[in-house]
Structure 1
Amino acid sequence: MQRPRAGRAAMRSAVRAAQTAGVILLAIVVLAAGVWTFYNVKWNRRLAGEIENWKAIGLPLQVSEAIPPPAGRAENAAPLYLQVFGINLEAASPAAPADGIVLSGVSVADRETLISYLEATDRAPLAPAVADLLRRPEVRATLDVLRKASVLPRASFPVNWELGFAAPMPHLGKLREAARLVTCTALLTAEEGDIAGGLEWCATGVRMAQHVTQEPTLVAQLSGMAMQAMAMDATADITSAVAVPAEISKPLREALAELDILGDYGQAMRLEVALGRATFEQLREHPEQLQSALAGDSDGERLVSGIYSTWLWNPVYAYDMATYMRLSATQYEACRLPWRQGRQTLEKTDKEVAGLTYARLTRVLAPASERVLQRRDTSLARSQLCRVALELKAYKARNGHYPDTPAELQQHLAWDIPEDVFSGESLIYRLSGEGFVLYSTGPDAIDNGGVAGDDGGGGANSQGTDLTWEAVN
Structure 2
Amino acid sequence: MQRRHFLTISLATLAFGCRKETPTSSKALSLTEALAAAKREGLTTDWRELKMKPVPAERNAALIFVEADKAYQKLPQSQRDADGLLLVAAQKTGALALARPVLERQSALLKLAEKAAALPGYSMERDWSKGLSTPFPEYAVARQMARLLTVRALLASEAGKPLEALADIEHATQIGRHIGSEPTLIAMLVHIACASLTDRSFIKILQRHGEKAGVLSAAHKVNLAFGPAPDLRFSFRSELPSQIMGVANIRQGKPFFADDEKPDDGSKEMIAIVKNSPQIATDWETSTVWYWRRVYQELTRNEPLTLAARMEALLAPLAKRHSRSDYFVLILAPVMSQAAVKVQHWNAQKVLREAMLSLLEARLKTGAFPEKPTLPGDPFDDEPLRYRREGKGFTLYSLGENGKDNGGSDEKEVVSSDTDSDKKTRVKDLVVRYGK
User: C-alpha deviations, 1:339-368, integer Å up to 9, x for none?
Assistant: 532233222222244445312433332222
| Alignment partners' CA distance in 2, 1:99 and 1:460 | 32
Is 1:441 equivalent to 2:383 in the alignment?
Answer: no
Is 1:115 equivalent to 2:88 in the alignment?
Answer: yes
| Alignment partners' CA distance in 1, 2:121 and 2:216 | 23
Deviation, 1:97, is 2.2
| Alignment partners' CA distance in 1, 2:227 and 2:287 | 31
- For residue 270 of structure 2, the aligned residue among 291, 298, 304 is 304
User: C-alpha deviations, 1:192-227, integer Å up to 9, x for none?
Assistant: 111222222122222212222222211222222222
- Contact 1:335/1:373, CA 8 A, preserved across alignment: no
Change (3 A) 1:338 1:67: farther
Deviation, 1:163, is 0.8
Deviation, 1:231, is 1.0
Instruction: Give the root-mean-square deviation of aligned CA atoms.
Output: 3.4
1:372 match = 339
- For residue 178 of structure 2, the aligned residue among 211, 214, 222 is 211
Pair member with larger Rg: 1
Deviation, 1:188, is 0.9
1:47-66 to 2 correspondence within 5 Å? 47-66=31-50
Deviation, 1:80, is 2.1
| Alignment partners' CA distance in 2, 1:240 and 1:290 | 49
Is 1:100 equivalent to 2:84 in the alignment?
Answer: no
Deviation, 1:323, is 1.0
Partner secondary structure for residue 177 of structure 1: helix
Change (3 A) 1:455 1:194: farther
Residue type at the aligned position of 1:98:
K
Residue type at the aligned position of 1:347:
E
Change (3 A) 1:440 1:112: closer
- Contact 2:132/2:257, CA 8 A, preserved across alignment: no
1:171 match = 138
- Contact 2:247/2:256, CA 8 A, preserved across alignment: no
With a CA cutoff of 8 Å and minimum separation of 6, indicate the structure with the bigger relative contact order.
2
Change (3 A) 1:45 1:328: closer
Partner secondary structure for residue 270 of structure 1: coil
- For residue 229 of structure 1, the aligned residue among 189, 196, 209 is 196
- Contact 1:217/1:271, CA 8 A, preserved across alignment: yes
| Alignment partners' CA distance in 2, 1:425 and 1:436 | 19
Residue type at the aligned position of 1:131:
R
Residue type at the aligned position of 1:468:
V
2:369 match = 402
TM-score normalised to the size of structure 2?
0.80
Partner secondary structure for residue 387 of structure 2: strand
Is 1:325 equivalent to 2:258 in the alignment?
Answer: no
Structure 2 segments unaligned to the other structure (5+ residues):
1-19, 21-25, 415-422
1:224-373 to 2 correspondence within 5 Å? 224-245=191-212, 247-284=214-251, 287-288=253-254, 290=256, 292-293=258-259, 302-305=268-271, 308=274, 313-336=277-300, 337-355=302-320, 356-359=322-325, 360-373=327-340
TM-score normalised to the size of structure 1?
0.74
| Alignment partners' CA distance in 1, 2:221 and 2:367 | 23
> More helix by proportion, 1 or 2?
1
Matched residue count: 401
- Contact 2:173/2:225, CA 8 A, preserved across alignment: no
Residue type at the aligned position of 1:117:
A
| Alignment partners' CA distance in 2, 1:298 and 1:289 | 8
| Alignment partners' CA distance in 2, 1:332 and 1:157 | 26
- Contact 1:418/1:426, CA 8 A, preserved across alignment: yes
Structure 1 segments unaligned to the other structure (5+ residues):
1-35, 37-41, 88-95, 408-416
Deviation, 1:420, is 1.6
1:116-195 to 2 correspondence within 5 Å? 116-120=89-93, 122-123=94-95, 127=97, 129-134=98-103, 136=104, 139-195=106-162
Residue type at the aligned position of 1:214:
S
Change (3 A) 1:196 1:331: same
Partner secondary structure for residue 438 of structure 1: strand
